[in-house]
A and B are shown apart, each in its own frame.
Chain A
Amino acid sequence: MKIYNFKGLATGLGLIAMGVVLTVLAVIKPQPGAANLIQNIVLIGLSLVLGGAAVARSLSKSATHNQRLAERDERQVLIRLRANTLTLEIVVGVAAVVALGLAVIDRGHDDLIMGIITGSLLTLGVAFWAWVGATAHFNRKF
């Protein structure tokens, strides 16, 4: 068995590990409610399926070759570049507006650590959704 894509294998194993951890947590510390149960089933299922698929692809020569060809596709490269740039612009803009707003309202956290954690999580969330939107936009445009 030969590994053709180490990055894909690492991603797959990471997802499988996450699925296993979530399963163990769900068994050791079950959360009440049907909604939590459904959420756990979906998350665990997705982690294991996607992880398994990534591992299988990393061990397949043809799948790895096709994946690398797709990554090289010049239109995809352009979309990635434009989406990343637009995402950065959106995140910087939002961060600036939020920082200015907080300064004006003077509602900054007294606890610096909590403030940094909250700010980081907010920035990550904005960055993720900005990237999703930007990628979809440029996929349609090009």
Chain B
Amino acid sequence: MQTRVKEFRKAAGLTQQQLADQVHVSARTIISIEKAQYSPSLMLAYRLAQVFGTDVETLCCLAANKELEDKEIENL
């Protein structure tokens, strides 16, 4: 799932490790989220959104990702 974590993190001037420490996960998890290899859990997404002062829908591009998923399901 594509997210805007990298964009918000850079805007906040945080390193991946600093962000990981704030949301209690490993830096490897943040890297995987930014590469869209791993989708954060609801709680993690909420924590990330709180760090950046935004909401989960904006941070995780939920509307766009939902459209992509709907298309994938149609093509199954």
Spell out A's residues near B (CB within 8 Å).
Answer: 69-70, 72-76, 78, 141-142
Question: Does B37 make an interface contact (CB < 8 A)?
Answer: yes
In the complex, A142 Cα to B30 Cα: how many Å? 11
Residues of B within 8 A of A69 (CB): 24, 26
Q: Kindly identify which residue among A75, A141, A142 contacts B25, using a CB–CB cutoff of 8 Å.
A: A75
Residues of B within 8 A of A73 (CB): 25-26, 28-29
Q: Which residue of B lies closest to A66 (CB)?
A: B26
| A-B CB pair tally, cutoff 8 Å | 26
Summarize A's interface: helix, strand, loop or mixed. Answer: helix
Q: Is the Cβ of B37 less than 8 Å from the Cβ of A142?
A: yes
Q: Is the Cβ of A74 less than 8 Å from the Cβ of B37?
A: no
Residues of B within 8 A of A70 (CB): 26
In the complex, A74 Cα to B29 Cα: how many Å? 8
Q: Which residue of B lies closest to A75 (CB)?
A: B29
Q: Is the Cβ of A141 less than 8 Å from the Cβ of B29?
A: no
Residues of B within 8 A of A76 (CB): 26, 29
Q: Is the Cβ of A75 less than 8 Å from the Cβ of B24?
A: no
Known: A76-B26, A76-B29, A142-B37. 20 other contacts (CB 8 A): A69-B24, A69-B26, A70-B26, A72-B24, A73-B25, A73-B26, A73-B28, A73-B29, A74-B25, A74-B29, A74-B40, A74-B41, A74-B44, A75-B25, A75-B26, A75-B28, A75-B29, A75-B32, A75-B38, A78-B38
Q: Which residue of B lies closest to A141 (CB)?
A: B37
